[in-house]
Amino acid sequence: MTPMPQGLLFDLDGTLVDTAPDLARATNALRAHHGLAPLPFPAIRAQVSNGGSALVALALGLAPEHEAHAEARQFLLDAYGQAVAEESYVFAPLDMLLQRWEALQRPWGIVTNKPRAYAAPLVEALGLRPGALLCADDLPVKKPAPEPLLAAAQALRVAPSQCWYIGDHVRDMQAARAAGMPAVAVGYGYIEEGDDYLSWPADLWFETCEALVEALQPAIE
């Protein structure tokens, strides 16, 4: 049985915050720049966790090694950076859980593969106050390497074994396992078609945000 955590660590996009609307806006701005019609939101949402390069490949069919890929990716990121929190929001009822968690002075943080230039303004705009924020460019390695999770746990002063890492991608589970943390998979995030989150190497699996929050209730009662 997985014990209740002393600290919480979250992936950002698709786990703690629904950032897909703003990333979809930027992706379709790139499409419009090339004279293409907008893509449907569900198609973009499924690729958000894979980062800017995946969104460029989706939008324009340009592989990362294509000579035009880097310029297109920068256009997309610039468009996104102009309004990182226009439509993004913390998944409910995680927002209420975090309020109670903080009221009990429990530590929590974020470990993301999003660059700090976009993650930090997003976190600030949403009024979030994580005790640790580890981004893609803070260390020489990123998830699925365990080092960002370990650095975050150290910043929170919580033993890795007492800290849940919650994410919506298999690399999140791989990073948590490598860090010696309980790996918690959520099925409500940005999961590609055909990818079964129940097959990921996790300790706990939750289909909805509500189910995740319900499972954490004993830790805040």
Structural domains of the chain, count: 2
113/196 same-domain check:
yes
Q: CA–CA separation, 152 vs 104, rounded Å?
A: 19
Same domain, 128 and 174: yes
Structural domain ending residue among the three candidates 36, 63, 81: 81
Q: How would residue 122 be classed by pLDDT, with cut points 50, 70 and 90?
A: very high
| Number of neighbouring beta carbons within 10 Å of residue 2 | 12
138 is catalytic: no
Does residue 134 sit in the same domain as residue 42? no
To the nearest whole number, what is the mean pLDDT of the chain?
A: 97
Where does the pLDDT of residue 1 fall: very low under 50, low under 70, confident under 90, or very high at 90 and above? Answer: confident
Asked, as a colleague might, if the bond just before 144 is cis with ω within 30 of 0, I would say yes
The CATH number given to whatever domain includes residue 184 is 3.40.50.1000
- Whether 2 is covered by a domain: the verdict is no
Res 161: pLDDT: 98
Q: What pLDDT, in 10s, does the model give residues 20-38?
A: 999 999 999 999 999 999 9
Domain end, chosen from 62, 81, 100, is at 81
In a domain, 194, yes or no: yes
**Is pLDDT of 49 > 90?**
no
The reported pLDDT for the residue numbered 157 is 98
Report, as an integer, the average pLDDT of 143-166. 98
- 29 and 53 housed in the same domain: yes
110 pLDDT tier (thresholds 50, 70, 90): very high
120 and 59 in a single domain? The answer is no
The yes-or-no answer on residue 78 being catalytic is: no
Q: Name the percent of the chain lying above pLDDT 90.
A: 95
In a shared domain, residues 109 and 178: yes
133 has pLDDT over 90:
yes
- pLDDT-based confidence at residue 165 (cuts at 50, 70, 90): very high
User: What is the band of 193 on the pLDDT scale with cuts at 50, 70, 90?
Assistant: confident
Structural domain includes residue 73:
yes
What phi-psi label fits residue 32: left (phi over 0), alpha (psi between -120 and 50 degrees) or beta?
alpha
Beta strands in the chain (DSSP E): 7-10, 17-18, 89-90, 108-111, 132-134, 163-167, 183-186, 204-206
Q: Closest Cα partner for 4 from 193, 120, 161?
A: 161
> What are the pLDDT digits (tens) for 79-100?
999 999 999 999 999 999 999 9
Asked which of 36, 53, 81 is the last residue of a domain, the reply is 81
The model's confidence at residue 155, banded by pLDDT at 50, 70 and 90, is very high
Q: Is the pLDDT reported for residue 162 higher than 90?
A: yes
Question: Domain range for residue 135?
Answer: 7-18+88-220
72 and 118 share one domain: no
Q: Given a cut of 90, is residue 189 above it in pLDDT?
A: yes
Q: Which residues pair with 13 in a beta bridge?
A: 17
Classified as helix, coil or strand, 152 is helix
Question: Within a domain: residue 111?
Answer: yes
Catalytic residue among 13, 18, 22, 172: 13
Q: Tell whether 129 and 206 lie within a shared domain.
A: yes
For residue 1, tell me if it sits in a domain: no
Are 78 and 85 a contacting pair, CB within 8 Å? no
In one-letter notation, the amino acid at residue 92 is A
